[in-house]
Structure 1
Amino acid sequence: MSAEPGTVRPGGRTARVRTAVLRAAGDVLAEQGFDRLDLAEVARRAEVGKTTVYRRWGTVTALVADLLADMAEQSLPRTRTGAVRDDLRANALLVQRTLADPRQGALFRAVIAAAACDPRTAEALRHFYAVRIAEWAPCVSEGVARGELPVGTDPATVVRAVSAPLYYGLLTTGTAPDPAAAERAADAAVAAAQAGVYAAPVTPVTPT
């Protein structure tokens, strides 16, 4: 069974071609948006043959999916400070720096806009965030184990609660969050978690 275009992880020269093409695709997305992303233009910027790009990825959506997969793979590992509040502040500040970066912030806005109308881009974006949430969720699990958060707290929901206000602010105001906003988002998520907002309800035991 042949692999879907853009899903093979080769080495050598082919890996260098992939790196150059994904970099060029990210540049076009950041500068012009999803609707202006063109495989021929990406090939020109990457200085590779159009045939190579069309044969390897085939469609714009396949290229964006591979770009998001690569971004997930290249993302920084989670921070481990020994305290859940500090861990989640580190997560929030990482998101904040990404969204404040001129290229990365524009790239994410373009991909999020594309995901609203393109199913494959939406799936690739969900996969990207699933990878990142899985990377940071152990911060919450470890916080539960240390007694900082209630038993039953859902790690993935807490991690989403940290970054959600930052993305919302970017998309609704067009302005990237600052570090203070990132710390507030983390502190609010921790406070809610400590209050049991993200903990599964305990089922009472009925005496027999």
Structure 2
Amino acid sequence: MAQQRPAHGSVRPGGRTARTRQAVLDAALAELGAGEFGRLSVERLAARAGVHATTVRRRWGSVQGVVLDLFASVVEEVTVPDTGELREDLRILLDGILALYATPRNRNLLTGMIAAVVEHPDASRVMGRFFTDRTRHVAVIVERAAARGEVPAGTDAAQVIEAVSAPVYYRLLVTHQPLDPAFARRTADVAARAARAGAFT
């Protein structure tokens, strides 16, 4: 697998590069929160951020690169726990996801992109790539559990993560039921029990 490059625009931790990155990501967040994916362009983002379009192209390559970087910056707030116990790791992971979407800004970003997926193939590709990459990153939780012998060898780690996170998005986007710590505990417990029983092998 090719080595992943650092997020576009994030090579230096401070100074003008960091300010430029933040300005462009803020511009993308505002556009997506307003459901404007179809109107996004490098020029539009650059104008809103107060930077040159060539700067955006050089650091992100495309609108899709900016959106991927935006999602990556948002989910940096969700840590990947390592408590030594699968159920607790999944619960903490879910608590982090719930906290992430407790803010209107992040909910608007998600719902704006979901709405765009229906009409724009580029949005679908961006969302698919983001969630695939994120699931692969978080799957280390299950891989550690397998190494401890807590779940059977051959457990599909990505499927476990999908099983524990899908109820969150169902409630968030479809039923609008509460997302609270009790929900996180129940969901983590069900996924952990199923993994231990070999449901994902």
Question: Scaled by the length of structure 2, what TM-score is found?
Answer: 0.78
Q: Distance in 2 between matches of 1:151 and 1:48?
A: 51
Structure 1: runs of 5 or more not aligned: 1-5, 200-208
Give the CA deviation at 1:197.
1.0
After TM superposition, what 4+ stretches of structure 1 lie above 6 angstroms from structure 2? 54-59
**Letter aligned with residue 122 of structure 1:** S
Give the CA deviation at 1:189.
0.9
RMSD: 3.0
Radius of gyration: which is bigger?
1
Give per-residue Cα distances to partners, 1:77-131, cap 9 Å, x unaligned. 4111111100011111111112222111111111122223322222222222233
Task: Please say if residues 99 and 177 of structure 1, whose CA atoms lie closer than 8 Å, have aligned partners that are also in contact.
Answer: no
Q: Distance in 2 between matches of 1:175 and 1:32?
A: 23
User: Of residues 103, 106, 109 in structure 1, which corresponds to 2:108?
Assistant: 106
Q: Distance in 1 between matches of 2:114 and 2:35?
A: 14
Task: Please say if residues 99 and 176 of structure 1, whose CA atoms lie closer than 8 Å, have aligned partners that are also in contact.
Answer: no
Give per-residue Cα distances to partners, 1:158-207, cap 9 Å, x unaligned. 011110010011111245622222222211111211221111xxxxxxxx
Give the CA deviation at 1:23.
1.4
Question: Scaled by the length of structure 1, what TM-score is found?
Answer: 0.75
Compared CA separation, residues 146 and 113, structure 1 to 2 (3 A): same
Structure 2: runs of 5 or more not aligned: 1-6
Q: Distance in 1 between matches of 2:56 and 2:100?
A: 28
**Letter aligned with residue 24 of structure 2:** V
Identity, % of aligned positions: 42
Which one is further off, 36-45 or 153-162?
36-45
Q: Write the mapping of 1:22-37 to structure 2, written as runs, cut at 5 A.
A: 22-35=25-38, 37=40
Task: Please say if residues 24 and 46 of structure 2, whose CA atoms lie closer than 8 Å, have aligned partners that are also in contact.
Answer: yes
Task: Please say if residues 30 and 106 of structure 1, whose CA atoms lie closer than 8 Å, have aligned partners that are also in contact.
Answer: yes
Task: Please say if residues 35 and 115 of structure 2, whose CA atoms lie closer than 8 Å, have aligned partners that are also in contact.
Answer: no
